[in-house]
Amino acid sequence: MKKILKLNGVHELTKKEQQEVIGSNFGRPYCGGPRQCCITTPSGFVFCDYGYCQPNGSCIWA
């Protein structure tokens, strides 16, 4: 997980946001673009990293 979509500059995560990233169950990653797997946190952050898109729209992290 390297990117937060629509982020300009640096964003320091609050303790609550850090806990969401560390402790939340995000569900399955989904295909966010060519060779990108993404997950969305409960507060709406979208994290994407390199992966393999499957025909059914799911994604496998590389």
Sorted by where each begins, the domain ranges of the chain are 1-6+25-62
Q: What pLDDT score was predicted for residue 1?
A: 44
Q: Is 48 helix (H, G, I), strand (E, B) or coil?
A: strand
Query: For 3-7, 16-20, 36-40, 50-54, which range has the lowest pLDDT when averaged over its residues?
Result: 3-7
Q: What pLDDT score was predicted for residue 14?
A: 73
Query: In the numeric block, which tokens belong to residue 43?
Result: 């507060």
Q: Is 20 helix (H, G, I), strand (E, B) or coil?
A: helix
Neighbours of 39 (CB within 10 A): 20
pLDDT in tens, 33-54: 888 988 887 777 788 888 999 8
Neighbours of 8 (CB within 10 A): 5
pTM of this prediction? 0.56
